[in-house]
Amino acid sequence: MINRKIFIHRPKKGHSTLKILFLGMLVTIVALEIVAVLAIRKSRGPLPPLVGNFPEIRTSLEEAAAKEQFSFAVFGDTEGATGSFDLLAGKLRRQPVDFAIHLGDAYAETYPYFRAELHDDLRLPFPLFLVPGNHDLDGVSLKEFEKNFGPSLFSFTYQECLFIGLRISGGLDNTAASLAFLEHTLVEQGAAARKIFVFMHVPTTILPGRKFSAPPELTTLFTAHQVDYVFSGHFHGYAQVQTEETTYIVTGAAGKHLEENSPYGQFHHGVVMTVGPGNRVSEAIVPLPVTYDLKSKLHRFVIIELYPWLRQNRGLAVVGNLLVALLILRTLGSLFRRGR
């Protein structure tokens, strides 16, 4: 009698696991491409209705009913940062804030990402005004900035307080226009205002040991017209200087890297100002922990890195996608046959 042994080959489970992992990687590649295309389309669409310095947004505040107390948020220098700025937006959404002002350097080369995020993680339920920073005007022209976000020099009154946005971003042409606009606005409206708040990107030379490019003529105007608060960014940290007439607050650390070797505040943050009864003004710093937001980093990657590459290498992208589709079909077929 001949003993016959029949060997049945059973595939190792490890082979199927590797194929599933490989399939997951291929699907992820396709998903990232889809996310990139959808995000770019969103960034090219209209801004959310409460973003920008447009007259209709300012008028909505000027026509608001009187209230005993109100708050507004101030922050700057996010410049495409992920994590901290998203966290700040989330915190502000949960606070009774009437509007917010971004002090500039919102994007630079990350402009499409910033626009897309305004529809998602950075969407706020109240108006968001923006003063241009030097990196903002590196990313797009002044004409493009004003087309997208409204006038770069603007003012409005809210609850009998005067708010003025300037274009102090380092350029001489911007400085001259801002000085003229500031003086005109203060002469016309300053005397009737309960409080005067000014917002710009580059600080005046008020920080001991630091020199900035904002002209000294600004300080002269602030003093002459008794401006109460001046907010600026550019410096990636926090500082406050009080003179006899004016409080200067530098808050430029809502997400960008912090200033190194500085004696001033070194932490990510935003600021919420509250104007209450008796013209009392209080300041609350909103600290932000150092965070690593994988979702935001992936979102930024697909918009800033992946989509431009796909556009510049369309032929290669088409061939690559065809190969990925073929590999997905083959892997699915192999897994299906082994599962029968």
**Mean pLDDT in residue range 176-187:** 94
Average pLDDT rounded to a whole number, residues 61-75: 96
Structural domain includes residue 107: yes
Q: Is the dihedral angle over the CA atoms 325, 331, 332, 333 positive or is it negative? A: positive
Q: Could you give the CA distance from residue 98 to residue 85 in angstroms, rounded to a whole number?
A: 18
Considering only residues 113 and 194, tell me which one the structure prediction assigns the higher pLDDT. Answer: 194
Task: Based on the fold, state whether residues 279 and 306 are members of the same structural domain.
Answer: no
Shared domain for 236 and 310, answered yes or no, is no
pLDDT at 63: 95
Residue range(s) defining the domain that contains residue 333: 296-340
In percent, the amount of the chain with pLDDT more than 90 equals: 39
Same domain as 189, residue 308: no
- Identify the band that residue 236 occupies on the pLDDT scale cut at 50, 70 and 90: confident
Report field, pTM of the whole predicted structure over 0.85: no
CA–CA distances in Å: residue 155 to residues 106, 129, 131, 158, 273: 20, 11, 11, 10, 18
The C-alpha atoms of residue 256 and residue 235 are separated, in whole angstroms, by: 10
Could you give the number of structural domains in the chain? 2
258 and 324 share one domain: no
Give me the percent of the chain exceeding a pLDDT of 70.
Answer: 65
* Structure confidence by residue, pLDDT tens digits, 14-60: 556 665 665 566 666 667 677 666 766 666 778 889 999 999 999 99
Inter-residue contact 156 to 122 (CB < 8 Å): no
In a shared domain, residues 132 and 244: yes
Residues 190 and 309 in one domain: no
- Integer Cα distance of 72 and 271 in angstroms: 8
Say whether both 110 and 163 belong to one domain: yes
Higher pLDDT, 126 or 301: 126
How much is the average pLDDT of 191-204? Answer: 94
Q: Is the pLDDT of residue 181 over 90?
A: yes
289: exposed, middle or buried (Cβ count in 10 Å: 0-12, 13-18, 19+): exposed
